[in-house]
């Protein structure tokens, strides 16, 4: 690395840290979720293989996770792989599974970002659909970070909100039957308590961000998106998403918090 590159890297880090310090002086969300959309279109725009788009998407996740942690955000949830994504070509699915296995191993290594910031990793979804090697990597990553207690990273893979809600309702009913409770005693809170995100210790969702300009939720955190959740659609493709895209979203959140407190 040349001296010019080193100087640029230092200046970029100092500038970013200064911006984050200013932002952190205001109200900060506890829980932010990302629909990481646009990896394939990003790759096509670059005339690169689709796998490169997904790989650079992971780099973006690491970048945004660090930004969130520096801001003091306690929980980040990322839509890494939808159950419906298994319908893609076998080649793309296999490449995504290879990437998931590799990055899960990388995430939990000693000295990694998760250990540096005390982040506990939860892999959320219908994990039995994953290849055994990816399930093993997920179990190991969760085990190696289980005692980290400063922040949470939820990786949703393979996930669908309808599946999460259905599973929560089934478990709620089974618990009620086992406890000999009447159907009338089942409450919204009972179902909420059985959601995968709740079981993982996640606070209520403050902000949901979808990148790439597409304006739909795609079966992601439908129950968690309540009247207090701020939903933001960014036009930037996920691999390009960074601090400059994130700042207006945080400022908007802060404006709404301040206006509600008046």
85 is catalytic: yes
pLDDT for 111: 64
Question: CB of 31 within 8 A of CB of 73?
Answer: yes
Least confident of 30-39, 171-180, 205-214: 171-180
Mean pLDDT over residues 122-147, rounded? 96
Tokens at residue 224, please?
């968690």
pTM, to two decimals: 0.93
The percentage of the chain sitting over the pLDDT mark of 70, rounded to a whole number, equals: 97
Burial of 167 by CB count in 10 Å (0-12 exposed, 13-18 middle, 19+ buried)? Answer: middle
CATH node for 30-246: 3.40.1180.10
Q: How far is residue 241 CA from its own chain's centroid?
A: 14
pLDDT in tens, 109-125: 766 899 999 999 999 99
Mean pLDDT over residues 82-89, rounded? 96
pLDDT in tens, 17-30: 899 999 999 999 99
Catalytic one of 85, 102, 175, 190:
85
For residue 168, the SS3 value is helix
Query: Above 90 in pLDDT, residue 221?
Result: yes
pLDDT in tens, 139-160: 999 999 999 999 999 999 999 9
Mean pLDDT over residues 40-51, rounded? 96
Question: CB of 75 within 8 A of CB of 152?
Answer: yes
39 is catalytic: no
Catalytic one of 37, 148, 154, 206:
37
Least confident of 2-16, 63-77, 134-148: 2-16
Mean pLDDT over residues 116-137, rounded? 97
pLDDT for 8: 64
pLDDT for 85: 96
For residue 153, the SS3 value is strand
Question: CB of 48 within 8 A of CB of 59?
Answer: no
Sheet holding 151-156, edge to edge: 119-124, 151-156, 75-79, 31-35, 207-210, 230-233
- What are the residue ranges spanned by the domains of the chain? 30-246
Alpha helices in the chain (DSSP H): 3-24, 39-45, 50-71, 90-107, 113-116, 132-145, 161-178, 188-193, 196-199, 243-260
Mean pLDDT over residues 230-249, rounded? 98
How far separated are the first and last CA of the chain, in Å rounded? 51
């Amino acid at each position: 690395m040349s001296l010019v590159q080193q100087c640029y890297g230092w200046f970029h880090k100092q500038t970013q840290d200064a911006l984050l310090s200013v932002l952190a002086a205001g109200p900060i969300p506890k829980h932010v979720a990302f629909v990481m959309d646009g990896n394939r279109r990003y790759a096509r725009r670059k005339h690169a293989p689709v796998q490169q788009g997904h790989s650079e998407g992971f780099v973006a996740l690491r970048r945004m996770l660090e930004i969130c942690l520096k801001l003091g955000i306690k929980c980040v949830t990322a839509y890494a792989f939808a159950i419906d994504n298994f319908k893609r070509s076998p080649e793309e699915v296999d490449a995504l599974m290879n990437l998931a296995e590799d990055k899960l191993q990388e995430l939990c290594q000693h000295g990694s970002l998760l250990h540096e910031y005390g982040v506990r990793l939860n892999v959320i979804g219908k994990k039995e659909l994953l290849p055994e090697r990816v399930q093993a990597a997920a179990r190991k990553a969760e085990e190696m970070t289980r005692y980290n207690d400063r922040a949470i990273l939820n990786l949703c893979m393979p996930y669908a909100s309808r599946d999460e809600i259905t599973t929560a309702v089934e478990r709620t009913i089974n618990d009620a039957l086992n406890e000999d409770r009447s159907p009338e005693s089942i409450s919204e809170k009972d179902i909420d308590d059985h959601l995968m995100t709740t079981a993982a210790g996640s606070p209520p969702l403050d902000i949901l961000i979808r990148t790439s300009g597409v304006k739909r939720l795609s079966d992601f955190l439908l129950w968690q998106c309540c009247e207090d959740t701020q939903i933001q659609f960014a036009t930037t493709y996920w691999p390009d998403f960074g601090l400059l895209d994130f700042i207006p979203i945080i400022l908007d959140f802060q404006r709404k918090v301040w206006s509600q407190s008046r």
